[in-house]
């Protein structure tokens, strides 16, 4: 059945007169999947409710941070508690120390950490630090890996060959992009040849160790271990962008899951308990280059603000419980295996990549190992599925290139509903071979 979204349509029409595209982040516009975005009024546990009071099982979790579901009581109470004392001071606070220690105790590669206000701030600062530390300029990134909207990251190589990039957004100077090389994810031979060509000029390699922005793709063992070996050989830094994977894939991050230690790690989303926050950290020797200890400048008035710190502390303390990840693995496998079973039953083209509570849905029967493997047909098929699920009160990400995120509040009955709807979608919309 098609749900009613009268209020959302009205609000979206009003919003388009007030904000570019009616949104404050492009994917929210539903442009990728078609239709009108739902204006969400509240969240509770596994559910979000829109302004028309439609109830959806939420598989976005605010794009990742809400591992414990919406409106977690412990996080909420921590915010209420700190609000009694103020919101921002622009000074050091005790809560910064507490959250920093929680991070250092759980992420092995981090000996010192610097808090910022977003994942974008974290990644752009990490790259600046890498350049300052190595005294080199070039940075390698990978097509399909999203590291925020800083100028240096808004580029791609088109062909995927080891060439200097072109801007993918007006307003990004070519001079900035000339310091970036974009390669194919999971292709270690490209990385080797690029280092051979620019060996003394490459400051860092930045990568999502498990991708979430071309949906979920796990790195090949030889790729992720190869990056570590190559960076060590050429005295370049390996940056893991764990803004999504940090505390999601495991308590020690993707680096713990993959057993590969980066030089710098960026974090976000989860460590703010749903509030704006980011962080970057690494070994003492590297982090000592950050001002005021060293020459690499980075600052932020609201960095480490007590509200975000308090929410982050409440979140990370709860994630110390191993049972959280045991359950997330269980419920994610329940969803993934169910989708695969149905797709095989009807010979429906579907690839499901899942790691702990991150799930990638590819509506294709072709292996997906890099960005170029995601075909137009795959995207179109996902868009049809998204609309069908939405009409049945299931909220999947409004883009084929985004990961699904599960929370501890999602139970087997919720997954059973998803699987039932998915089977109906397949039988009603797919011509069987």
Q: Does pLDDT of 161 surpass 70? A: no
Q: Classify domain 6-68+322-429 at the CATH topology level.
A: 3.90.1150
Mean pLDDT, to the nearest integer, of 257-266?
A: 97
Which of 145 and 429 is assigned the larger pLDDT?
145
Q: Indicate the pairing of strand 55-58 with strand 47-50.
A: antiparallel
Is pLDDT of 204 > 60?
yes
CB 160 within 8 A of CB 119: no
**Quick one: average pLDDT of 251-259?**
96
| pLDDT tens-place string over residues 68-78 | 999 999 999 99
Is pLDDT above 90 for 20?
yes
Q: Which are the contacts of 136, defined by CB distance < 8 A and separation ≥ 6? A: 200, 201, 202, 203, 236
Mean pLDDT within 33-41 = 95
* % of the chain residues with pLDDT over 70: 96
Residues in the chain: 433
Mean pLDDT score across all residues of the chain: 93
* pTM, entire model: 0.94
pLDDT of residue 170: 80
Look at residue 278 and tell me whether its pLDDT is greater than 90: yes
146 given a catalytic annotation = yes
Q: 305-323: per-residue pLDDT in tens?
A: 999 999 999 999 999 999 9
Range of lowest pLDDT (144-148, 240-244, 282-286, 359-363): 144-148
Cis-peptide, bond into residue 50, ω within 30° of zero: no
- Strand 40-44: give its sheet, edge to edge: 40-44, 47-50, 55-58, 394-395
Equal fold, 6-68+322-429 vs 73-318: no
Active-site annotation holder among 141, 269, 370, 387: 269
Q: What is the rounded average pLDDT of the residues 157-179?
A: 61
Active site residue 346: no
Q: Which of 241, 280, 348, 387 is catalytic?
A: 241
Model confidence over 349-382: pLDDT tens digits?
999 999 999 999 999 999 999 999 999 999 999 9
168 pLDDT band, cuts 50/70/90, is: low
Q: 298: which residues sit within 8 A by CB, 6+ positions away?
A: 114, 116, 125, 128, 129, 290, 291
Residues 47, 58, 141, 146: which is the catalytic one?
A: 146
In this prediction, residue 433 carries a pLDDT of 46
Annotated active-site residue 269? The verdict is: yes
Instruction: State residue 199's pLDDT score.
Output: 80
Q: In the chain, what are the domain boundaries?
A: 6-68+322-429, 73-318
* Interval 227-239: pLDDT, tens: 999 999 999 999 9
DSSP secondary structure letters along 231-257? HHHTT-EEEEE-TTTBTTTBTTHHHHH
For domain 73-318, give its CATH number from 3.40.309.10, 1.10.10.60, 3.40.640.10, 2.40.128.120.
3.40.640.10
């Amino acid at each position: 059945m098609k749900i009613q979204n009268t209020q959302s349509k009205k609000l979206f029409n009003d919003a388009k007169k007030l904000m570019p595209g009616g949104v404050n982040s492009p994917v929210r516009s539903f442009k990728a999947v078609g239709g009108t975005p739902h204006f969400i009024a509240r969240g509770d546990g596994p559910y979000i409710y829109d302004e028309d009071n439609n109830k959806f099982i939420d598989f976005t979790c605010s794009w990742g941070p809400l591992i414990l579901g919406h409106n977690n009581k412990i996080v909420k109470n921590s915010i209420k508690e700190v609000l009694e004392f103020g919101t921002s001071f622009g000074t050091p606070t005790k809560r910064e120390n507490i959250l920093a220690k929680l991070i250092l105790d759980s992420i092995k590669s981090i000996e010192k950490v610097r808090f910022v206000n977003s994942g974008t701030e974290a990644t752009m600062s990490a790259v600046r630090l890498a350049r300052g530390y190595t005294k080199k300029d070039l940075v390698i990134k990978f097509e399909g890996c999203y590291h925020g909207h800083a100028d240096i990251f808004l580029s791609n190589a088109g062909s995927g060959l080891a060439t200097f990039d072109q801007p993918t957004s007006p307003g990004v100077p070519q001079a900035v992009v000339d310091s970036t090389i974009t390669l194919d994810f999971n292709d270690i031979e490209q990385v080797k040849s690029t280092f051979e060509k620019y060996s003394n000029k490459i400051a860092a390699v930045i990568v999502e160790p498990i991708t979430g922005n071309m949906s979920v793709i796990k790195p090949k063992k030889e790729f992720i271990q190869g990056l570590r070996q190559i960076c060590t050989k050429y005295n370049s830094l390996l940056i893991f962008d764990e803004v999504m994977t940090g505390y999601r894939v495991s308590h020690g991050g993707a680096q713990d899951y993959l057993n590969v230690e980066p030089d710098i790690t960026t974090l976000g989303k989860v460590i703010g308990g749903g509030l704006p926050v980011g962080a970057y950290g690494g070994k003492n020797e590297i982090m000592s280059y950050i001002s005021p200890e060293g020459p690499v400048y980075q600052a932020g008035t609201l960095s480490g603000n007590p509200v975000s710190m308090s929410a982050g502390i409440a979140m990370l303390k709860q994630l110390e419980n191993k049972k959280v990840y045991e359950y997330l693995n269980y419920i994610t496998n329940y969803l993934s295996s169910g989708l695969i079973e149905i797709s095989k039953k009807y010979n429906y083209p579907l690839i499901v990549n899942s790691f702990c509570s991150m799930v990638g849905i590819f509506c294709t029967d072709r292996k997906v190992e890099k960005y170029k493997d995601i075909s137009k047909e795959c995207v179109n098929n996902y868009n049809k599925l998204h609309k069908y699920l939405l009409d049945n009160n299931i909220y999947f990400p409004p883009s084929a290139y985004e990961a699904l995120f599960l929370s501890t509040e999602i139970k087997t009955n919720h997954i059973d509903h998803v699987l039932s709807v998915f089977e109906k979608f397949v039988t009603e919309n797919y011509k069987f071979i």
